């Protein structure tokens, strides 16, 4: 398969972390630290090269061949574990990643603070916007979407004293008006939740990613990063089903259904959704 994988992570927590304190619908996004270490060890042992999103964009713009075994690691939300767990592990393996932060949460409970964000940036990590408040953009008027995208970019640039070029759309797949707003306000690429790979011909404003969630086996992880056709067929089929349900039910009803399903014995089946 052509293109390289972009992985999406969220929280990475210790084995003794109390998941019962987390809403059921969010639990799949809390990956155990031991699983994350095993995944990074696998990438290191197999000679994978991590690229920041900015580096990937430069390869695309210059039409340069991507390095063999390259991969992009992304983290959404800006959870404190991105600094306490993820950041030291990445540095241990000499890996780089792109972190998308919810700007209004910076400095608040369970989130990164500005000192940590600046330190990570100064040590090879890349920061992008995950909007101001992490809303359902489909619930907002265009001017409200504009504020979410523009204001988050401005605040990040003020604190980091550098341009913020990248955006991750939260919760939903993007619509063309949102991407137009992102382009108009200086973003150079947008990450989505579409499943797939990204190559030199990929639309930079519709980058695809694969979610890495709790319970994913190392064998399945290896199949994902090695671009196994069968696993991508399953992932895309699951993504298609999810989008069909979102469209027919609406986002909020879909989330209510998903939470009920996660409480049942079908958890292992529905987790991939």
Inter-residue contact 193 to 173 (CB < 8 Å): yes
What average pLDDT does the structure give for the chain?
91
Q: How many domains does the chain have?
A: 1
Model confidence at 273: pLDDT above 80: no
CATH of residue 221's domain is 3.20.20.370
E runs forming strands in 33-110: 49-51, 70-77, 98-101
In a domain, 237, yes or no: no
In a domain, 255, yes or no: no
State if pTM tops 0.85.
yes
Q: What band does 272 get if pLDDT is binned at 50, 70 and 90?
A: very low
Inter-residue contact 196 to 3 (CB < 8 Å): yes
Over the stretch 35-74, which tens digit does the pLDDT of each residue have?
Answer: 999 999 999 999 999 999 999 999 999 999 999 999 999 9
Residue-level pLDDT at 250: 76
In a domain, 256, yes or no: no
**Top-confidence residue, 267 or 146:** 146
In a domain, 264, yes or no: no
Over the stretch 68-111, which tens digit does the pLDDT of each residue have?
Answer: 999 999 999 999 999 999 999 999 999 999 999 999 999 999 99
Nearest CA-CA partner of 72 in 88, 49, 91, 93 = 49
Domain coverage including residue 15: 6-229
Structural tokens at position 62: 């210059």
Average pLDDT score over residue span 178-199:
92
């Amino acid at each position: 398969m052509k293109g390289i994988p972009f992985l999406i992570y969220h929280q990475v927590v210790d084995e003794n972390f109390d998941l019962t304190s987390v809403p059921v619908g969010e639990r799949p996004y809390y990956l155990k630290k031991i699983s994350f270490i095993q995944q990074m060890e696998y990438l290191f042992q197999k000679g994978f090269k991590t690229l920041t999103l900015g580096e990937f964009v430069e390869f695309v713009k210059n039409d340069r061949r991507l390095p063999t075994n390259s991969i992009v690691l992304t983290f959404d939300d800006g959870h404190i574990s991105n600094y306490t767990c993820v950041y030291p592990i990445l540095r241990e393996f000499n890996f780089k990643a792109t972190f998308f932060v919810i700007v209004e949460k910076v400095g608040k409970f369970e989130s990164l603070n500005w000192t940590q964000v600046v330190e990570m940036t100064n040590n090879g990590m890349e920061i992008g916007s995950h909007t101001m408040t992490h809303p359902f953009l489909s619930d907002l008027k265009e001017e409200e979407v504009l504020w979410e995208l523009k204001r988050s970019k401005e605040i990040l640039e003020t604190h980091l004293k550098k341009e913020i070029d990248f955006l991750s759309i939260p919760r939903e797949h993007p619509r063309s008006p949102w991407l137009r707003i992102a382009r108009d306000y200086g973003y150079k690429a947008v990450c989505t939740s579409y499943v797939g790979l990204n190559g030199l011909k990929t639309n930079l404003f519709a980058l695809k990613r694969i979610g890495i969630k709790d319970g994913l086996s190392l064998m399945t992880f290896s199949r994902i990063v090695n671009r196994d056709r069968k696993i991508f067929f399953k992932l895309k089929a699951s993504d298609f089903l999810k989008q069909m349900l979102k469209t027919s039910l609406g986002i909020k009803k879909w989330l209510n259904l998903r939470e009920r399903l996660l409480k049942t014995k079908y958890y292992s089946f529905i987790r991939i959704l």
